[in-house]
Amino acid sequence: MNTNPKPRFSQSIEFKFQYSDEVANETYLGLTDADFKSNPFDRYAASEKDNFKADHLQFTATHILNITKDFRITTTGYYNNFSRNWYKLNDVVVNGTKVGINSILTNPLTYSDYFDVINGTTNSDANSLLVKANNRNYISKGVQTKLDYHWYGKNAFHDIEIGLRMHYDEEDRFQWLDGFNIINGIMNLTNPGTQGTDANRISSANAFSAFAMYKLKYNKLTITPGLRYENIDLARKDYGKNDVNRTGSNLLLRNNKVGVLIPGIGINYKINNDFSTFASVHKGFSPPSNLEGQKAEESVNIELGTRFTTKGLRGEIIAFNNQYSNLLGSDLAATGGTGSLEQFNAGEVRVNGFEMLLNYDLVKTNANYKLPITFAYTFTNSKFLNSFDSDDSLWGEVNIGDQLPYIAKHQFNTTLSLEHKDFELSLSGRFNGAFRTKAGSGIIPENEKVASNFIIDLSGRYRVNKNTALTLNFVNLLDSTYAVSRVPAGLRPGLPFGIFGGFEFKL
């Protein structure tokens, strides 16, 4: 809704509502290396009951007040409610001893009795399969206001933004374990769990943030300094596994607070119409958990680059260096850990490399068609600068000089498109280099490696009229088989060949 733009103060308000739900027979249980080679899309019998259900509700309202053509105030209120229950196999019990699924699939020979239960090749006792209901509800809500004022001087342009935000979010865990056996490859419920007896706690955060950013354009030089302040009060109420009604009889409380100033500055210099250089230095920040005394993650991020145009070729080259003084790790079941969810301070890490982006139109002289080709490449190097031990399989025993897991050194993508006023066709290829799945150095062991892959996609878009368009996407056109991860447990395949269609309509 908008006011008449002619009054002294014009204003508008926008409301947004979004709802979505999801039901997926998704599992934490991947495959052993041998079974992945045989059939990467196979599922073990013990994943029969695994299921993910989610609901998401979102409201936002944005008010824009244009005091003058140079002064604007934008205020947004938002509310998100996301609930989900990922019901999935968590542990296997044989002869009274419990082992997690990640350990079993990592060492199927060592845990052969457990693997036979997972695979359904042997019948099991009651409660040999422990299926966890990861039942959680997330709420985030808040209000933020931004003032934007700009003015012109002699050979200069000035712009200042000031913003404030009040934010609250919480995570409510109310989880339980169900016991199953497996007979002739079929799972049977043998002990239904009581809700709240596996995890029964609420973690929350109250946050206030403020920022100011100033942009100065003077002739060919642009300077953009900024400063942000974050103040976060983190808390947890753990009602315990025996107080499912949350009376507070066994309530355990813990709190942590953090306040931080986050500065940054960016500089751009336009040498001429074809060349410019830029650089930036920013402080990085990630809040700690609610464990008292835990430190926040902090880093210094530096970029240096250039943008250029020469004989129709447009490009960008950027070198980057991110120096973490205190990287945070998390003990998550999703990453092969114990699932305690506790964060830990992993110390100093350096991540550096460079990016390159090139664009060129192969038929730039044709008025009816364009044939642009793009190429993007990223090289990334990572290194731990200190040693530590953790229970998470992502980290394990880390030594100075070890590389971070799940970071590919080499990545590139390229796209060739045919563009017309009525339609577009794009053929693209994307390469992701091999990476290690556990911190380490030297040659990557096969059981800690995800191999490189190259995937080709094809997409098309046809404009029926100015308001309507049809889209069609072919993903993994050659139906290549490739792995993408070894977490939460075992190897997991990437998306096979798929076709997706769409319909676009604009008022």
Q: How many domains, in total, are found in the chain?
A: 1
Does some domain include residue 152?
no
CB within 8 A of 467, min separation 6: which ones? 505, 506, 507
Q: What is the CATH number of the domain that holds 425?
A: 2.40.170.20
Does some domain include residue 81?
no
Q: Tens-digit pLDDT profile for the chain (507 aa)?
A: 655 656 677 889 999 999 999 999 999 999 999 999 999 999 999 999 999 999 999 999 999 999 998 999 999 999 999 999 999 999 999 999 999 999 999 999 999 999 999 999 999 999 999 999 999 999 999 999 999 999 998 889 999 999 999 999 999 999 999 999 999 999 999 999 999 999 999 999 999 999 999 999 999 999 999 999 999 999 999 999 999 999 999 999 999 999 999 999 999 999 999 999 999 999 999 898 898 888 888 999 999 999 999 988 999 999 999 999 887 755 444 444 444 455 556 678 999 999 999 999 998 777 789 999 999 999 999 999 888 777 666 777 888 998 999 999 999 999 999 999 899 999 999 999 999 998 889 999 999 999 999 999 999 999 988 889 999 999 999 999 999 999 999 999 999 999 999 988 877
In this predicted structure, what is the pLDDT of residue 399?
86
Contact in structure between 53 and 84 (CB atoms under 8 Å): yes
In this predicted structure, what is the pLDDT of residue 293?
84
How many Å separate Cα 332 from the centre of its chain? Answer: 15
In this predicted structure, what is the pLDDT of residue 313?
94
How many Å separate Cα 255 from the centre of its chain? Answer: 26
Peptide bond into 488 cis (omega under 30): yes
Element (H or E) spanning 102, and its range? helix 101-106
Does some domain include residue 209?
no
Does some domain include residue 97?
no
In this predicted structure, what is the pLDDT of residue 98?
97
CB under 8 A, 24+ apart: contacts of 466-472: 467/505, 467/506, 467/507, 468/503, 468/504, 468/505, 468/506, 469/503, 469/504, 470/501, 470/502, 470/503, 470/504, 471/501, 471/502, 471/503, 471/504, 472/499, 472/500, 472/501, 472/502
In this predicted structure, what is the pLDDT of residue 1?
61
Does some domain include residue 348?
yes
In this predicted structure, what is the pLDDT of residue 337?
44
In this predicted structure, what is the pLDDT of residue 467?
86
Read out DSSP for 261-329?
EEEEEEEEEE-SSSEEEEEEEEEEEE---SSTTPPPEEEEEEEEEEEEEETTEEEEEEEEEEEEEEEEE
Does some domain include residue 498?
yes
CA nearest to 32, candidates 95, 103, 120, 96 = 103
Domain of 393? 271-507
Does some domain include residue 288?
yes
Does some domain include residue 7?
no
- Taking only the tens place, the pLDDT of each residue in 192-215 is 999 999 999 999 999 999 999 999
In this predicted structure, what is the pLDDT of residue 340?
47
What is this structure's pTM? Answer: 0.87
What is the Cα–Cα distance from 340 to 102, expressed in whole angstroms? 15
